[in-house]
Structure 1
Amino acid sequence: TWREISPDLTTDDETKQVDSGGLTFDNVGVDYGTTLFAIGESPLEPDILWAGSNDGLIHVTRDGGDSWTNVTVNLGGLPPWGTVSNIEASRFAVGSAYVTVDLHQVDDRDPYVYRTNDFGASWTLITNGIPRGMLSYAHVIREDPERPGMLYLGTENAVYLSIDDGDNWVPLRNNLPPAPVHWLTIQEAYGDLVLGTYGRGFWILDDLSPLRQLDDGVLASRAHLFEPRPAYRLLRRSLPGDPDRDGPHGYREDPPFGAPINYYLADSIVDAAGSDGEAAITIRDDFGNVVRTLRGNASAGINRVYWDLRHEESPPIELRTPPLGHPGVAFGPDSIGYNDEGWRELDVEGSGPNGPLAVPGKYAVEVDVGGHLLTTTLEVVKDPTSAASKDDIRAQIDLALRIRDQVNVLTEMGNSIEWIRKQIDDLEDLMRGRSDMTEAQGAAASFDQKLIDLEREFYILRTTGASENLLRFPAGLFSHFKMLGGYVTTGDARPTSSKYEVFDELSARLEQHREIYGSLISTDLDEFNSIARAHGLPGLAVPPQN
């Protein structure tokens, strides 16, 4: 049931309650004069309510509606017939509130934003810093739920921020299009600013924590690292209705997954060559071990880098030789895509990132920029829906890291072999057609075949990137390790005994291949280089190992 708690809180001006449409009445809603347009309830006292109308009146009750006080006359300098579009009752002071009044319908496009600290007995105009123009009229004001005096303001073409209770405003647009900002709200659990525009969709400014921590001390410093908000280690799920699964998702953009790391620089950093400098970010666990290293911008102002909560990835397999069995496939952009460094990525089952998610807990964050070493602590929080214990997750990630480390060993061997085989290809081009090179040609072909025989145990050497390659040829040790890592890190769960058994079996095979590789490098390579040099050819070089 409903109970009436007020008289008419508008002017009830009958001249604003007439038919519209001129000679032919239409009454399609062009004018709704003398209508209550905004209401604000105090978060501190349930009996305190504010009401605003679209004919310029503001009332307040302090007894739940038994009596109302018209405080409009106290807004000095406010022209009549404005639309009180938003009233924000403060959550920090009982008598404080903020209002926006829109007069553009009477061709007054200035911003009218007011603050009161005494239940409307007096008001202060708070619009310093908002440029005057055709689109400067205000629609909505919001108070930050955590920091007193921090306000957000939406106008007809921008959004603004104040950290001094509205005394001064600065633009907060960044990449926001110049659209009318009609509503603002703060997602309190994560501290994100959400706004609704007229015609340009919803927009979200993720992670307000650096703005909440911004003060005179930060602005006076040369560099400052903000305390990060907790980062949730959310597990990826595909649900019915998920745009990624059930249809196009171009209408929305998700923020990067993980933890935003925010730091302030008073001035942009440039390197010795005059180019834009960088910040080096290091994430360490509670034992001081490096979990991840990142690079970030070093521009004046607030910079942001996302850590995806993962450990370091394995380096890529760098294929420098053409696919076996495809002699007609040439180098170049019109065939197989080799990059500027002369290699192409391996595309087989299991390819992709393999750095596992970090275990829930506390991590040290270090930002090294412009001669400043800044440190703070970041908390990684377990997915609230996960039933696994921290010990279960730690066992899971320990095995995943052991798998990743084995992939690193395999990758290092594979890349070394590719470097050597590419050198052999180049030498064969030099020797082609020369009868005095028969011995060297035979030695090169023999050594190359030994390298191929080992490398094909790692991954498919015949792959051209076509999807059917994965069906035609058996997967190698690389794919077996990567797929095992994928199974181990699916969900949050302690690995089963069978996963450890598979890991041990794959590791035993890898150790056998390491012994063969060691023999090829220590014995066969030297033998070939002796023959090559005897024929006036340069020897083969082994790339440095990490």
Structure 2
Amino acid sequence: MLRTEPIIFSPVDNKTLFFAGNTMWKTIDGGNNWTQVSPDLTRKTWDIPAAQVGKYKDQAQKQVSDRGVIYTIAPSFQDIDRIWAGTDDGLIHITTDGGKNWKDITPPMLQPWMKVSIIDAGHYDKDTAYAAINTLRLDDNRPHILRTHDGGKTWTEIVNGIPGGQTINVVREDPVRKGLLYAGSERQVYVSFDDGDNWQSLRVNMPATSIRDLIIKGDDLCVATHGRGFWILDNVTPIRQLAASRDTHLFEPQTAWRMRFNLNSDTPLPPDEAYQENPPDGAAIDYYLASNARSVELEIKDPTGRVVRTYRNTDSLPEIKDIGNWPAYWLRRPQALSNSAGAHRFFWDMHYTPIPGVPPEYPIAANFMNTAPVPTAPWAQPGRYKVTLRVDGKESSQSFEIRMDPRVRATENELKEQFDLSMSLYELRMRFEVANRQIGGLSTQLQAAKKTANAATAAQIDAFLAKLADVASGPGGRRRGGGAAASGQLSFGINDRIAQIFGTLQEADVAPTSVTEAAAHDLIKQGGDTIAAWDSLLKNDLPQMQNFFKQNNLPELKLVAKEMNHRFPVDKDENEETWTKP
């Protein structure tokens, strides 16, 4: 019975599957029929290592032959007929004609009890390959990684930077950046930026554990361990862009997928229930600061050049505390744009700027320590976006793409229709939030002045309050606190209806229904009329009332909230790349 049975598809033809014991086999019909494509590629006999198990050299097992297996198969990424094979008894072979002929290209340093753990065929050159050699059975704990650029005629050991005691199990070449290599030892992951000439640790937060294999899937580095499950380093695009030395730098972001992150129902899982985090939601923006900075700013623009979002390191962060039915330990911690030296990862939630000053509301579909407020701004449309990093007056820019969740069936036109309606309501609500602060501030000042005013002055104040109430109680207006027009704080109640229809539009990636569309257009018309009436009052009636206050020696009647600060960070922060365990 074989303990190791490598099986791998050809990267050139996904219908060609290879399998090996001590010989190699191929199928092109899903396993219904198999063709042998190699002889026995293992050693016929071997010597017993005297220093390790020499006492067994005279026993019968010494005479056993054909005990090895093909431990690793590496089909070429360029040529379907070129295949590399390594055995667990220290041999490496290659075929360049689909298995008709095999050539022994074993490096001179390999011995019978050395195991060729992994061979990785070069992604950019058919004559390149990398081999991880495990020598634990020889009591040799040193790292061994071999490289060839001439089809196996010559091999070079490339382990500089990997300390002793780090037996290597796997080496892989990055499929995007030539010369970028990853290796897994009995303790951790290593990375090389110069084709293996020099290595450094990529352990980050991973526990010390045996790395048995790793693959690069898209932009993620995925690792299989012995005893600690699977680990994933999300988004290695910054690693692919690293240079030996660099000043402050904004990395080109990876493609961002617009997906609805939280589809849970009801409350979070209990804290004692085992689970692992998903990759952070949002567009990951990586930047590096060579030294501490005074001022750091990130600006994101949509495909039309409109500023979607701006973050600064001086932005104030909302306090995390219990809010109604939502305990603080449910809530996502806000991120701060770091101005400290080093590498940083910042996530944009792919929404436009939240409406400032709106108290956060949270869904009942919650995640422990990661429940974000219900968005008050629209989703960003799929397309090409631009991000600009400004550090102490110097700036650099990169572009990146937002793509739609491939499971969404809505067409581009349907998503645009949804976005256009949502944006109209968002902009209208933004205007009403300003108007609400204005009318609320005015009504509060008027009520305070009325308390000490004489009868004639109080009558004038009541008359102006009535004008405010008439505008506020236009379509859907209301008076907080109830009572007559001259009592309570005023607000534009239509704003609540706008928020409701906006939420309906944004809660699914579909075209608006005819009912929702009609309601939205009705609100846009009513809201526009109300804002026009309010602007007219501010232009014509308010100056007269302010002059009346001045003539009667009343406190100055001030118009507050003329504009709003559109920077309100609510996204998740990651200051460095970390491994996650799925």
Alignment TM-score, normalising by the size of structure 1: 0.70
Does residue 147 of the first structure (1) align with residue 174 of the second (2)?
no
When residues 512 and 95 of structure 1 are mapped into structure 2, their CA distance, relative to the original with a 3 A threshold, is: closer
Give the whole-Å Cα distance in 2 for the aligned partners of 1:161 and 1:110: 17
Give the whole-Å Cα distance in 1 for the aligned partners of 2:446 and 2:174: 66
Corresponding residue SS for 1:72: coil
Letter in structure 1 aligned against 2:220? D
When residues 176 and 485 of structure 1 are mapped into structure 2, their CA distance, relative to the original with a 3 A threshold, is: same
Give the whole-Å Cα distance in 1 for the aligned partners of 2:545 and 2:424: 30
Deviations 1:23-61 (A, max 9, x none): xxxxxxxxx974432222222233333332333333333
Deviations 1:298-340 (A, max 9, x none): 444543322332222212325xxxxxxxxxxxxxxxxxxxxxx
Give the whole-Å Cα distance in 1 for the aligned partners of 2:494 and 2:141: 69
When residues 505 and 137 of structure 1 are mapped into structure 2, their CA distance, relative to the original with a 3 A threshold, is: same
Corresponding residue SS for 2:384: strand
Q: In structure 1, what is the equivalent of residue 82 of structure 2?
A: 48
Q: Of 283, 286, 308, which residue of structure 2 is paired with 1:262?
A: 286
Give the whole-Å Cα distance in 1 for the aligned partners of 2:363 and 2:112: 71
Percentage identity across paired residues of the two chains: 32
Q: In structure 2, what is the equivalent of residue 173 of structure 1?
A: 203
Q: In structure 2, what is the equivalent of residue 331 of structure 1?
A: none
Does residue 9 of the first structure (1) align with residue 42 of the second (2)?
yes
Q: Which runs of 5+ in 1 are unaligned?
A: 17-21, 23-31, 272-276, 319-344, 463-474
Give the whole-Å Cα distance in 1 for the aligned partners of 2:551 and 2:341: 59
Q: Is the CA contact (8 Å cut-off) linking 1:210 and 1:226 kept in structure 2?
A: yes
Give the whole-Å Cα distance in 1 for the aligned partners of 2:525 and 2:41: 84
Deviations 1:374-400 (A, max 9, x none): 123223334444444434332321211
Matches within 5 A, 1:202-213: 202-213=230-241
Measured on the aligned residues, the alpha-carbon RMSD in Å equals 4.4
Deviations 1:462-514 (A, max 9, x none): 9xxxxxxxxxxxx9544422221122234444445533431243345545765
Letter in structure 1 aligned against 2:275? Y
Q: Is the CA contact (8 Å cut-off) linking 1:102 and 1:139 kept in structure 2?
A: yes
Q: Is the CA contact (8 Å cut-off) linking 1:396 and 1:488 kept in structure 2?
A: yes
Give the whole-Å Cα distance in 2 for the aligned partners of 1:407 and 1:415: 12
Does residue 230 of the first structure (1) align with residue 255 of the second (2)?
yes
Give 1:401 deviation, angstroms: 0.8
Give 1:518 deviation, angstroms: 7.7
**Higher mean C-alpha displacement, 142-151 vs 175-184:** 175-184
Corresponding residue SS for 1:254: coil
Corresponding residue SS for 2:347: strand
Alignment TM-score, normalising by the size of structure 2: 0.66
Matches within 5 A, 1:134-533: 134=165, 136-188=166-218, 191-215=219-243, 219-220=245-246, 222-234=247-259, 251-265=275-289, 267-271=290-294, 277-278=295-296, 280-295=297-312, 296-317=337-358, 345=360, 352-416=374-438, 477-507=494-524, 509-510=526-527, 514=531, 515=533, 522=542
Give the whole-Å Cα distance in 2 for the aligned partners of 1:12 and 1:541: 97
Q: Is the CA contact (8 Å cut-off) linking 1:74 and 1:121 kept in structure 2?
A: no
Q: Is the CA contact (8 Å cut-off) linking 2:107 and 2:154 kept in structure 1?
A: no
**Higher mean C-alpha displacement, 506-515 vs 37-46:** 506-515
Letter in structure 2 aligned against 1:306? F
Give the whole-Å Cα distance in 1 for the aligned partners of 2:48 and 2:455: 108
When residues 73 and 212 of structure 1 are mapped into structure 2, their CA distance, relative to the original with a 3 A threshold, is: closer
Q: In structure 1, what is the equivalent of residue 575 of structure 2?
A: none
Deviations 1:233-276 (A, max 9, x none): 346695xxx899997786222223333233344x12322xxxxx
When residues 447 and 10 of structure 1 are mapped into structure 2, their CA distance, relative to the original with a 3 A threshold, is: farther
Q: In structure 2, what is the equivalent of residue 94 of structure 1?
A: 126
When residues 348 and 57 of structure 1 are mapped into structure 2, their CA distance, relative to the original with a 3 A threshold, is: closer
Q: Which runs of 5+ in 2 are unaligned?
A: 1-32, 50-55, 57-65, 313-336, 365-372, 482-491, 564-582
When residues 529 and 105 of structure 1 are mapped into structure 2, their CA distance, relative to the original with a 3 A threshold, is: farther
When residues 146 and 244 of structure 1 are mapped into structure 2, their CA distance, relative to the original with a 3 A threshold, is: farther
Give the whole-Å Cα distance in 2 for the aligned partners of 1:418 and 1:12: 92
